[in-house]
Amino acid sequence: MVFGVGSQAFIIESNRTIREVTIVKRSGDFYIVRFGNAGGIQVRSCRLFATAEDAEATLPKRETIQKRTGYRSPYDYLH
């Protein structure tokens, strides 16, 4: 998807947080994006999403950890 200068987009930070950014400049397949008025980075177009729902759909799903109940030996480590 091609984003215009000044448009809003979303990126995924650290494979867990969705953050809204503003497009500052486009150069080929790269975009310079700004986080509010704090700073900015250069990213590829594949890391930008049009909506927060699109970004959330690509996040890895967390697996639920089953809790043990009852007696546990001190030598029963969870590796």
| Count of CA atoms in the C-beta half-sphere (13 A) of 7 | 13
pLDDT of residue 68: 67
Q: Which residues of the chain have pLDDT under 50?
A: none
Rounded to two decimals, what is the model's pTM? 0.74
pLDDT of residue 30: 95
Nearest-angstrom CA–CA distance, 61 and 34:
27
Nearest-angstrom CA–CA distance, 43 and 48:
8
Report the Cα 35 to chain-centroid distance in Å. Answer: 13
The CA distances from residue 53 to 10, 11, 16, 65, 66, in Å, are 9, 11, 13, 25, 28
pLDDT of residue 51: 95
pLDDT of residue 9: 96
